[in-house]
Amino acid sequence: MIRQKSFENEKPTLFLVPTPIGNLSEMTPRAIDVLKSVDVIACEDTRTSGQLLKHFDIHSRLIAYQNFNEEASAHGIINLLMQGQNVALISDAGYPLINDPGQKVVTEATAKGFNVVPLSGCNAMLNGLVASGLIAQPFIFVGFLPQGSGDRKRKLGEYKNYPMTLVFYEAPHRIEKMMKSLLEVFGDRRCCIARELTKVHEEFLRGTVSELIPELDGLKGEMVVIVEGNTDDYSKDVDSDLILEMLRESQALGMTASDAVKDIAKKTGIPKNTIYRIVHQCNN
């Protein structure tokens, strides 16, 4: 058990500092103060973050922390903390760890008893969700879907029956393919696409999936896609083949049948009893 009292000890601290997703005026005074006070700032791209730091007259040492070398980067940051240095982790834009690097170093830092202190600030997912017009709570954040058509549809199939609002990220050059996969797997649900959030060209497209698809041509900027959850009695519309395939894959990884069923129920939102019934029917 590890108990952290963030401001009642002198342990080195890893600060998680959100940065603006477009509008620089959303950089908070606290974020600026922390970035000026730490010994090191770890970022995704030193060129991008260097411009941000220059704008706010921040001169702390800057190092790279990226997905492709996250393990080595995390080890380096832990070493800095062990040397007594305070470190701030930032993303190119938005909140660290939310579809950005940082999970490994936070996991290691907390395990070793260092302070990990989050600051409030920008996050495109939450901006899009609360202004979407769809139910904001409860929700599930999925992030980016796989790029390949088959993998994308399979991943969507895992979330098809959830009754909660679903939030995705998507790039402009893939948005049309993503939306067509969404229509095929989820059906024509209510949806909102939020783009260019906090910028002068901020835009929300609200409607059903089929209504939005014709409007996608030429849209630019990273997009947040918010989709209403399954409002049907999902137990009546379960893809048995998908459930059995997921079961086989889980068991191939060494799970027991019971653990596999629990895992599938967690991923899909389908009741365990429904999954057991499918398995029993297919085995007889």
Q: Compute CA 106 distance to the chain's CA centroid, rounded to the nearest angstrom.
A: 15
Question: Per the domain annotation, does 148 fall within a domain?
Answer: yes
Both 130 and 227 in a single domain?
yes
Q: Smallest Cα–Cα separation from 16: which of 6, 26, 5? A: 6
Same domain as 116, residue 134: no
Report d(CA 207, CA 223) in Å as an integer. 15
Q: Which of 122, 149, 169 is the last residue of a domain?
A: 122
CB 205, CB 192: distance < 8 Å: yes
Q: Work out whether the CA dihedral 87, 91, 92, 95 comes out positive or negative.
A: negative
The reply to whether 2 falls in a domain is no
Residues 90 and 70 in one domain: yes
Q: Kindly give the residue spans of alpha helices, DSSP state H, lying in 139-239.
A: 149-159, 175-186, 209-212
Residue 5, in any domain of the structure: no
In this structure, the answer to whether residues 139 and 62 fall within a common structural domain is no
Other Cβ atoms less than 10 A from the Cβ of 240: the count is 14
Q: Read out DSSP for 121-140? A: ---HHHHHHHHSSS--SSEE
> What does each C-alpha distance from 118 to 90, 140, 148, 235 come to in angstroms?
11, 21, 34, 39
31-75 pLDDT per residue, tens? 999 999 999 999 999 999 999 999 999 999 999 987 667 788 899
- Say if residue 38 is in the same domain as residue 133: no
**Do residue 221 and residue 256 come from a single domain?**
no
Residue type, 207: G
Q: Rounded CA gap, 107 and 119, in Å?
A: 17
Q: Which stretches in the chain have pLDDT values below 50?
A: none
| 6 within some domain | no
Are 136 and 118 in a shared domain?
no
Domain stop point among 88, 122, 156: 122
Q: Are 182 and 172 in contact (CB under 8 A)?
A: no
Residue 76 maps to a domain: yes
**108 and 138: one domain?**
no
Residue 274 forms part of a structural domain: yes
Any domain includes 8: no
- What is the domain extent for residue 77? 13-122
Residue 165 lies in a domain: yes
Same domain? For 118 and 134 the reply is no
Residue 284, pLDDT score: 62
Q: 40-43 and 61-64: which strand pairing?
A: parallel
Given a contact cutoff of 8 angstroms between Cβ atoms, the answer to whether 116 and 106 are in contact is yes
> What total number of domains does the chain contain?
3
What is the Cα–Cα distance from 13 to 88, expressed in whole angstroms? Answer: 8
For residue 164, the domain's CATH number is 3.30.950.10
> Would the CA dihedral through 116, 119, 124, 126 be positive or negative?
positive
List the 190-195 sheet strands across, edge first: 139-144, 165-170, 223-227, 190-195, 203-208
pLDDT recorded at residue 266: 81
195, 167: one domain: yes
Nearest residue to 58 (alpha-carbon basis) of 79, 37, 74: 37
The 3-state DSSP class for residue 19 equals strand
Q: Cα–Cα distance between 227 and 139 in angstroms, integer?
A: 10
What DSSP character marks residue 21? Answer: S
Which CATH number does the domain housing residue 95 bear? 3.40.1010.10
214 in the same domain as 243: no
The whole-model pTM stands at 0.80
Residue 121 exposure: Cα atoms within 13 Å on the Cβ side: 29
pLDDT given at position 161: 86
CA distance 49 to 66: 13
Among the candidates 122, 148, 181, a domain finishes at 122
Query: Both 177 and 77 in a single domain?
Result: no
